[in-house]
Structure 1
Amino acid sequence: MKRIFFVVAIIFLGAFSKLSAQTDLVPYVNPLVGSQRSAIGYGGTMPFVTTPFGMTDWTPQTRQNKISVTSYNYDDTTISGFTGTHQPAIWMGDYGYVTIAPQIGELRTTPDSRQLPYSHQSEVARPDYYRVLLDTGSDGKIQAEVTATERCSMLRFTFPASSTGRVLIEASRPGIPGMASVNPETREITGYNPHRMDAHLGPLALPNFKGYFVIQFQQTPKAMKTYGMDDSKAESSRGAYAEFEPGQTIQLRVGTSFISVEQARENLQREIPGWDFEAVQRALRAQWNAKLSRLQIGGATDADKTLLYTALYHALLYPRVFSEYGRYYSAFDDSIHRGESFTAYSIWDTFRAENSLLTLFAPERIDGMITALLQNFKEGGWMPKWPNPSYTNIMIATHADSLVAEAIRKGFHGFDREVAWQAVYKDAMTPPDGDTTRRWLDREEHTPYEARAGLTYYKQLGYIPTDKTDEAASSTLEDSYDDWCVAQVAKALGRANDYQFFLKRSLNDRNLYNPALGLMNGKTSDGKWAPIGGGRDDNGNRSVSGWTEGDAWVYTWSPLHDQAGLIQLMGGVEQYDKKLDQHFSGGHNVHSNEPSHHYGYLYDFGGEPWKTQAMVRKIAEKEYSPTPGGLDGDDDCGQMSAWLLFTAMGFYPVNPASGDYMIGSPMYGEIALTLANGKTFRIQASNNSPENLYIQSATLNGTPLNIPVITWEQIQAGGLLHFVMGPKPSRWGSKWRAAPVAARPNHS
């Protein structure tokens, strides 16, 4: 019997060896994906030239960015410059940015006046390089090229032979007290931009915040001047420019910093000490290939590979580095510290799958990312929800608890676990300032840090009442999951009493189940059911249903940790699956927003995994394509992309902090994931095709796998997960049931 097993294993591995590793995968990345509105949706992405997790991203600017507007939109026909941006998502603002614009002719300082037409036919967009031709009319075209490092960039402008070339540096915008200065002797333009577009969304004033820059030219300018510096009311932004003899190719390198001009210069000297544009570009390409090559795909077309490697590119952009060679500016106490830092955690979105993907593809970053959140806690009093780079109070719950719990569950040890406990315990037990006197409106301006809004009521009633706190029903359900995460941290640290307390409290989600509707339903402070689909307060101007970015259908299955409890509440797996059927057939699954991302995998819990297999394939086909309009909904710092990558591999972290992954339907014949420990985890799907999407049988390293679950440890051990696929549903995995969290507690 052992001999047969050995032979079978050799056959499986031999079959998989046909997948030859590709080393240059950058050509499969299309950074334009998600940058166009289309029938699928709008991803709000930009064609960034940057490193994985780069501090500053470089993109052409087709429109002036702001909250809800990104710098680049595929449908625009002109470019007004190239921006070193820190805007992480369309709904977030930028901060500390700098814009560089090549031009000829008269000086034009405003974005509208300096626009130049371009064509996508002349555009080359890759993670390591961007090139475009800018049409100046009868004078000819300016060729613009960009490459980058983690904190710096190098640009090259080739001007028409008959025209004086000018490079304009926009330090800030009207009304923003930025600064630029010139030094002809060193061929430098230096300055800073203190703009934080979403500063009004958080509680902190940061008088010391600035985005600094140093720009150095290889060629000697014939003139260097500033503009708008003497008139604070000037319509033009404040900046500077350098002019050059006609027909030159001008190279410039740019250092950025949040510490000082001197640090920006040091960053530049460390990262781009010379003037070899191609060498910088080759080094950046190598960095991306080192990451991309950890995913190998077989049985896929070039379009399929573009889809997946672009998704991996998007997922590896965030959180972004926010430290500079051993020091960082803290946007939580407005001071400089020693250490490593990150920012741009879209945690309400990314705790679901993006963070879990990083534990596989960038585990070397996880300790630093968790440490950064704990530093934020020590410097500002709380771990943030959505640092950009400071508190913004965007979205609900405290899902940094999930990131901490997941890191501990997966064995990461490079952060202070006692500080982590202090941080998650405060999230779970300390109401925010003014908790019972504020509604905590979505994106309410100039409020204290929101933390768990309505926590006072949650502790008293077992839920957050809709007549006291906005988004109360959604918050109750998501706080329950975070309580489960806090319980896991307590368990890992040997805090048995705390573990039992938070485990029991994590079942507060059940207090909102309305058996008459078979759905979750908000409650008012007197224990009555709130209007399920809306309703207004006594003034007639506020919805009191209690949901955020969704409704009762979107949120009923949201307790990621308590699907077994939900099955019990609904009366068993048949009713659970029937309700899921109604959810999907009724059009309630909105994949463009994150609360629905795990819903396709829930049939695994209800004993009908073949429905999961069909549903996740259907969602992937409908919501993604390798085109500029190929993302349905804001990518949200990689979460939309992470969903696709997990689904393509054939599994998904429904409860990310559990270390379990629910099985879906692998999209391609062969996928290999190179792990940081040197092992390889392979997924093979024999007979796979768009029609053969149903799992008939599965083995893990030759041993039958009869449940639709694999674990973190099984992945880390490496080996082969082998599926046999077919055109019809099978009963594979149908007997598995999730274990309940605990007995249902009594609440009034």
Structure 2
Amino acid sequence: MKKQLLAFALMLTAVSAYSQKPSKKNYQYINPIIGTQRMGHTFPGATVPFGSVQLSPETDTIAYELNKKYNGEVYKYCAGYQYDDKTIVGFSHTHFSGTGHSDLGDFLIMPTTGALQLNPGTAANPQSGYRSAYSHANEVAQANYYKVKLDESNITAELTTSQRVGFHQYTFPKTTDAHIILDLMSGIYNHKEKNVYTFIRIENDTLVTGYMQTQGWARTRTVYFAMAFSKPIKEYGVKKYDEGNIYNGFWRKFDQTKNFPEAAGRNLRMYFNFDTEQNEKIKIKFALSPVSTAGALVNMKIEIPHWDFEKAKADGQQLWENELNKVKVETLTESDKVNFYTALYHAFINPTVYMDADGSYKGLDQNLHKVDGFTNYTTFSLWDTYRALHPLFNIVQPKRNRDMVQSMLAHYSQSVHKALPVWSNSANENWCMIGYHSVSVIADAVIKDNADFDTKLALEACINSSNLRYYDGIDSYLKYGYVPEDKNGSSVSKTLEYAYDDWCIAQMAKKLGRDDVYAEYTKRAQNYKNVFDASVGFMRPKLSDGTFKKEFDALDTHGQGFIEGNAWNYSLYVPQDPEALIALNGGKEKFATHLDSLFTMTLPDKYFEQTEDITRDGIIGNYVHGNEPSHHVAYLYNWTGQPYKTQQRVRMIIDAMYKPTPDGLGGNDDTGQMSAWYIFTALGFYPVAPGSDHYALGSPKVKEATLSLENGKTFTITAKNQSAKNVYVAKAELNGKVLDRLYLTHDEIMKGGTLLFYMSSKPAK
């Protein structure tokens, strides 16, 4: 009997222990591998929310081996890593997440053993250099943590970060030939042209400082560093490469090649040698600064003053948990939760903090500045992120978004053009893509009462940016009311996007009591009508003589007046005035038919670039989810009297374009825009026209979501009868009252409350 009682007690103890098993934390649902295959262009390495350091592996074989600047192969390596590659060349400290253009990849570190090799080798023959084969079976990617086994040297590499410090931990075998390579030539932008000048100083037997000036996509960028080792260096050296020839090592009266405490030049690779015992860990802290090596040292001392790798990892993961807890969700499947929290993770990587711990940073004028009451940010891919990422921030990251606007206004004040950023990074303006979409971000913040900044200066900056006559066809736009194709390419896209931005300025001016500006920009916002050809039912390139261009193919993307889209896509781009767009197209029924055909047509092969299958990524019919101009399109059914089609389409898109797999993003994540679309759509609403306080209703993917707002309120979304088949909304209730409209307002969300969707398998027509 006693044995039976004992067994029963043990069973109860086991059941109790199981029932008390800690629940999974939200950061544990993050899978940084998502989007690393094909065209997602994400990186799998370690970073903290909005971190200055993104420490990640490089698998780029093409830039090293071919040095081709703009072919499709190099394009694949915008984030430095492609899942299908079999070798790793090292671990660098700066990356773009999900972009369609490359740069960064600064300060590549690689641990090796055996004979010292200072060339990277090739993917086909990694033993010919410091490159190593690896296997995904020996790879771990988590929030703020990356681990991989390097097969060539039997070294285990582990990475974690703080805001401005990369923390490496390398576990070596027993050897007298352990090396740490610091490659100052490597980069994600054609490395032979990238490096302008490098300076390195060996401060003592555990500390190295220096800086690197580069000329890549950003035309002048200087990054300072401090590199600390956990054990003394046995010996060190440098090799300098100029025009393919190895420098002989002599400088004035000194031999620099071995144990000389400083080096300078254009293309340098350094090595640091150690003796190691079996499973000995060599740790490296690598701090960055936009200002000075002294700043980098202070950043290191403030952020990671210790050598506890696990603590640094846990601290960073807690930062992710804090951010993810702003949106708590319950989903139908584990995969949906992985998708959601990975999307939130990708949305919270960029923009990135750009200043030292004391607030110092380099400005667009290349002078040193210090912030006054805000955090300075960089990495603004605004053509992408004005659509959903910044509107998302206005809900769940309002303080950060205000600081981002402050950063844009600082950029404006430092700009010789007196222009807001277009695509800016690290004290540089890249002038990439079209529009002046900073005004959308600023107007959206003002309209949504998230404007704790100088709104008078903000309106001035928006007006000046919209009148930059020598920039990208604006002179013609102001003269003709449209951009003529014979004056400036991508003319229709520019006209449409300038008109939307002008509408944003008008809304902002109205809110700020500037009726004169409101009247002027409301008129300018109508310019989209000037490129609509009623005879064909499409937006169409117009010439400076007032006639439409004769050669026209609504499906072609080349030479037709559009960028990253065709006439079918861009003819639906009037987010500020869907009712007028529908009227132009012959009314609701005809317009809905046009929308239907967008999703159901089959594009002939001739409209794809035959040499690159990547052009087929992110496409459903002729709807191109991988290119942002289409992101609002599925929600336009709400204005046609057929909201059930919006509901059906957005659930179809979300299932087709987002998966918890390496190839799980249907196009470049574009610094979080693709992910922000997912988050909004999964929650059941979307900002069709940033600059408005309305969000169009869709079909939620979550079962329940709770938004913990910075004002202390909570907003809860619940989907009753949620299932994979129940994609239609039978009715919706806001705070217990039936919602008799197809939108929410920003104020309704920020006041807190409950939005209840009743889901059904049948459309409510």
Q: 1:254 aligns with which of 286, 296, 306?
A: 286
Q: Which deviates more, 166-175 or 209-218?
A: 166-175
SS in 1 for 2:516: helix
The equivalences for 1:184-195 within 5 A come to: 185-195=204-214
SS in 2 for 1:213: strand
Contact 1:328 1:341 in 2 (8 A): no
Aligned twin of 2:700: 666
1:222-267 alpha-carbon deviations (Å, 9 max, x no partner):
1122222899953894132221113231111111111111111111
Question: Is the aligned partner of 1:416 residue 2:454?
Answer: yes
1: distance between equivalents of 2:350 and 2:99? Answer: 14
Which residue identity is paired with 1:410? K
SS in 2 for 1:101: strand
Question: Is the aligned partner of 1:281 residue 2:313?
Answer: yes
Aligned twin of 2:26: 25
2: distance between equivalents of 1:162 and 1:241? Answer: 16
Q: 2:763 aligns with which of 729, 735, 739?
A: 729
2: distance between equivalents of 1:423 and 1:23? Answer: 46
* Aligned-pair identity (%): 36
Contact 1:54 1:321 in 2 (8 A): yes
CA deviation after TM superposition for structure 1 residue 90, in Å: 4.0
The equivalences for 1:306-385 within 5 A come to: 306-339=338-371, 340-380=375-415, 381-385=418-422
CA deviation after TM superposition for structure 1 residue 23, in Å: 7.1
SS in 1 for 2:691: helix
Root mean square deviation, CA, Å:
2.1
2: distance between equivalents of 1:299 and 1:421? Answer: 42
Aligned twin of 2:133: 117
Change (3 A) 1:638 1:21: farther
Aligned twin of 2:742: 708
- The number of aligned residues is 673
Change (3 A) 1:465 1:267: same
Question: Is the aligned partner of 1:431 residue 2:449?
Answer: no
2: distance between equivalents of 1:543 and 1:277? Answer: 51
2: distance between equivalents of 1:357 and 1:74? Answer: 29
Q: Which deviates more, 419-428 or 92-101?
A: 92-101
Aligned twin of 1:582: 597
1:385-423 alpha-carbon deviations (Å, 9 max, x no partner):
111231112111101110010111111232211111111
The equivalences for 1:637-652 within 5 A come to: 637-652=671-686
SS in 1 for 2:380: coil
SS in 2 for 1:85: coil
Aligned twin of 1:405: 443
CA deviation after TM superposition for structure 1 residue 468, in Å: 0.8
Aligned twin of 1:624: 658
1: distance between equivalents of 2:120 and 2:523? Answer: 57
Contact 1:195 1:210 in 2 (8 A): yes
Contact 2:176 2:274 in 1 (8 A): no
Change (3 A) 1:182 1:462: closer
Q: Which deviates more, 224-233 or 704-713?
A: 224-233
1: distance between equivalents of 2:229 and 2:86? Answer: 29
Which residue identity is paired with 2:357? Y
The equivalences for 1:153-552 within 5 A come to: 153-173=166-186, 174=192, 176-183=195-202, 185-199=204-218, 206=220, 209-228=221-240, 233-234=245-246, 237-247=267-277, 248-339=280-371, 340-380=375-415, 381-389=418-426, 390-432=428-470, 450=471, 453-531=472-550, 533=552, 544-552=559-567
SS in 2 for 1:132: strand
Change (3 A) 1:602 1:242: same
Q: 2:91 aligns with which of 82, 88, 91?
A: 82
Contact 1:23 1:293 in 2 (8 A): no
2: distance between equivalents of 1:177 and 1:396? Answer: 29
1: distance between equivalents of 2:324 and 2:692? Answer: 26
Q: 1:99 aligns with which of 108, 128, 140?
A: 108
1:50-108 alpha-carbon deviations (Å, 9 max, x no partner):
11111121001111667622311111111111110143444333237111110001222
Q: 2:143 aligns with which of 110, 114, 127?
A: 127
Change (3 A) 1:267 1:499: same
SS in 1 for 2:526: helix
Which residue identity is paired with 1:400? S
Change (3 A) 1:78 1:492: same
Mark the runs of 5 or more structure 1 residues left unpaired by the alignment.
1-19, 201-205, 433-449, 536-541, 732-748
Aligned twin of 1:693: 727
1: distance between equivalents of 2:407 and 2:639? Answer: 35
2: distance between equivalents of 1:723 and 1:646? Answer: 15
1: distance between equivalents of 2:22 and 2:50? Answer: 24
2: distance between equivalents of 1:363 and 1:479? Answer: 26
2: distance between equivalents of 1:189 and 1:312? Answer: 36
CA deviation after TM superposition for structure 1 residue 532, in Å: 6.2
Q: Which deviates more, 550-559 or 88-97?
A: 88-97
CA deviation after TM superposition for structure 1 residue 580, in Å: 1.2
1: distance between equivalents of 2:583 and 2:701? Answer: 32
Mark the runs of 5 or more structure 2 residues left unpaired by the alignment.
1-20, 64-68, 122-128, 187-191, 248-265, 602-620
2: distance between equivalents of 1:423 and 1:665? Answer: 37
1: distance between equivalents of 2:22 and 2:648? Answer: 29
Q: Which deviates more, 237-246 or 62-71?
A: 62-71
SS in 2 for 1:130: strand
Aligned twin of 2:159: 146
Which residue identity is paired with 2:600? S
Contact 1:25 1:293 in 2 (8 A): yes
CA deviation after TM superposition for structure 1 residue 121, in Å: 0.9
Give TM-score scaled by structure 2 length: 0.85
SS in 2 for 1:656: coil
Which residue identity is paired with 2:468? T
Question: Is the aligned partner of 1:56 residue 2:75?
Answer: no
Aligned twin of 1:12: none
Aligned twin of 1:678: 712
Aligned twin of 1:438: none
1:490-510 alpha-carbon deviations (Å, 9 max, x no partner):
112211111011112101111
Contact 2:687 2:695 in 1 (8 A): yes
Which residue identity is paired with 1:386? W
Change (3 A) 1:408 1:184: closer
2: distance between equivalents of 1:667 and 1:87? Answer: 28
Change (3 A) 1:701 1:379: same
Contact 2:419 2:468 in 1 (8 A): no
SS in 2 for 1:657: coil
